């Protein structure tokens, strides 16, 4: 592939230009691995979990059993269990409000904590604990 073509060309040029012996397969592999590691460390990884709705990939058809299995295999259900067990996501009030304000566009509270409380009530969520931020 193009990723390693430059490395091979560079190694061949060095080998031809000098009287030393050709790099071994192990050395070539090590050099390629170092180049790949460097390239990967310079990138920012984003992971998107996609769920296929059905085996035929048709619109408006949902195979519930298949969807559940995909959620289970990707670790989403386990993450939910962990959060319910007492390790929830903690968001600052402003961030929470910006994300969920569509649940209740008009609110009476003027402070951010009060607004978030209204959003939680509008969502019918019980057993919440508000923090300090």
Specify the pTM.
0.35
- Predicted local confidence at residue 13, as pLDDT: 66
Rounded to whole angstroms, the Cα distance separating 10 from 7 reads 5
- Predicted local confidence at residue 108, as pLDDT: 84
**Mean pLDDT estimate for the chain:** 79
Interacting residues of 108 by C-beta distance below 8 A, sequence separation 6+: 114, 118
Cα–Cα nearest to 36, from 69, 77, 7, 76: 7
Q: Average of pLDDT values for 90-98?
A: 83
- Predicted local confidence at residue 119, as pLDDT: 84
């Amino acid at each position: 592939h193009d990723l390693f073509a430059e490395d091979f060309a560079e190694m061949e040029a060095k080998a031809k230009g000098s009287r030393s012996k050709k790099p071994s397969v192990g050395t070539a592999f090590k050099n390629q691995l170092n180049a790949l590691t460097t390239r990967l460390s310079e990138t920012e990884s984003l992971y998107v979990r996609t769920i296929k709705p059905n085996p035929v990939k048709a619109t408006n058809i949902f195979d519930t059993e298949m969807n559940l299995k995909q959620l289970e295999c990707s670790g989403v259900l386990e993450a939910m269990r962990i959060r319910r067990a007492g390790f929830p996501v903690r968001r600052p009030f402003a961030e929470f409000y910006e994300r969920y304000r569509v649940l209740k566009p008009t609110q009476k509270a003027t402070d951010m904590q009060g607004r978030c409380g209204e959003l939680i009530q509008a969502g019918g969520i019980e057993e919440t604990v508000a923090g300090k931020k």
